[in-house]
Amino acid sequence: MSTLRKRLDSVEERAEIQRHRDFVRQTQGRSQDEQLFFIVHGFWPERAGDKLPPAMEFTVREIKTIVTTQWEDEHKKTTE
């Protein structure tokens, strides 16, 4: 392995460790519900504002995920 590649791997590894530390710091003191909200929506509940977006899309490892709030709203209407 070349020296340049080793340096690049080292930088990437340090960046990943820092991201992990930042995430651990953000999740400390959060309830399980808040953490689940973050996992689904990608932001913390206090940043949601008054209304959630109707849909949110994100891609991880080439897998596209679409999260919607529509079903819950429709389900509430049909059960009332």
> Which structural domain, as residue segments, surrounds residue 80?
46-80
List, for residues 4-44, the tens digit of each pLDDT value. Answer: 888 878 888 889 999 999 989 988 999 988 888 888 777 88
Residues in a beta bridge with 63: 60
Q: Rounded to two decimals, what is the model's pTM?
A: 0.47
Classify residue 60: in a domain, yes or no: yes
Classify residue 12: in a domain, yes or no: no
Classify residue 32: in a domain, yes or no: no
Q: What is the DSSP string of 8-57?
A: HHHHHHHHHHHHHHHHHHHHTT--HHHHHHHHHHSS-GGGS-SS--SEEE
Classify residue 80: in a domain, yes or no: yes
Classify residue 50: in a domain, yes or no: yes
Residue with the larger pLDDT of the pair 76 and 54: 54
Classify residue 72: in a domain, yes or no: yes
Count up the domains in the chain and report the number: 1
